[in-house]
Amino acid sequence: MVDKSTIRVGSVEIMSVSDGTLSFDKGQFFPDIPEESWRPYMDELTPDGRVLMNVGSFVLRSEGKTILVDTGLGPDPVSAGISDYGHLLDDIMAKEVPPNEVDIVLMTHIHVDHVGWNLTYEGGVVAETFPRARYLVPMRDWEASVAKAKRSISDPDEALARQTRPFLNQVQPLESTGKLDLFDGEHSITSAITTLPTPGHTPGHMSILIASEGERAIITGDLLHMPIEVHEVTWTSRADANPGQAVVSRTAVLDDVEEQGSLLLAGHFPSPGFGRLVRVEGRRYWQKL
């Protein structure tokens, strides 16, 4: 049987893993998109017309290092109404990636569905889920989250409190472990793996460029949530902190991916999230591998 969850880009092994799925009302997630604009895309929704997203992460093996990109929702997500979560550890162990073999946890950004397994809480004791790993966090997201957490101390708004809990529970405690590394800009993880600043969804949002032996792939983080956005690049979600900048970043990456013939790897696209950009009658589409 062919393992469709693992591909290679040059010397880099890329494995797709999942923590579960998320489901949203389409109008809630894309609040500025009128109902009639959805008509050509009903086959990309669930039978009851909802947006369904994989909560995907990627395990990279490069130059002797095992790198986990994002850590899902975790075992106890703070958002209400989430029913399919907490599968990441089972999935990576089934694929022979024990947590204690992960060298680097690389976060594309600080949102609840990307940081949930950073830490584990048992019996009142907090521990790093990946005990030998360095945890890499975009500096601009860290700074924005610290500022928001400070505001929440004096602001009783429950929505603000919900937004800050993932940071307070799963990211900020890393500082006291001595294993937190803040980074900014194009940061080399190995000679084949580099972070690419793609702000908009969050202030410090990062995509990940994998370039090895003449082959390229880009992990998009939340630059994209659905294949629709490959051609509807101006659609923005309610989760985008700066929608205009998100469109600029998304357009630049998609243009680069198409020009270079790179793979486009998206954790929220249908699992395993591996695909290419193709043109059909002048329009750009994502084609699953």
pLDDT tens track for 250-281: 999 999 999 999 999 999 999 999 999 999 99
Per-residue CA distances from 37 to 12, 32, 279 (Å): 39, 10, 21
Cβ atoms of residues 125 and 173 within 8 Å:
no
Strand partners, 104: 67, 134
Longest dimension (CA), the chain: 58
Asked if residue 80 has pLDDT above 90, the reply is: no
Handedness of CA 132, 138, 143, 145 (dihedral sign): negative
CATH code of domain 6-288: 3.60.15.10
**Residues paired with 151 in a beta bridge:** none
Residues 205-226: tens digit of each pLDDT:
999 999 999 999 999 999 999 9
As a whole number of angstroms, the distance between CA 61 and CA 163 comes to 32
Band the pLDDT of 163: cuts 50, 70, 90. Answer: confident
Mean pLDDT of 172-201: 97
d(CA 99, CA 90): 10
pLDDT one-digit tens code per residue, 98-136: 999 999 999 999 999 999 999 999 888 899 999 999 999
Please report the sign of the dihedral spanned by the C-alpha atoms of residue 165, residue 168, residue 171, residue 177: negative
127 CB-contact burial (10 Å; exposed 0-12 / middle 13-18 / buried 19+): exposed
pTM of the complete model beyond 0.85: yes
CA 63, 92, 116, 4 dihedral sign is positive
Question: How confident is the model over 216-243, as a mean pLDDT?
Answer: 97
Q: Are 43 and 110 in contact (CB under 8 A)?
A: no
Mean pLDDT in residue range 91-96: 96
HEC string of 211-256 equals: EECCEEEEECCCCCCCHHHHCCCCCCCCCCCCHHHHHHHHHHHHHH
pLDDT at 122: 85
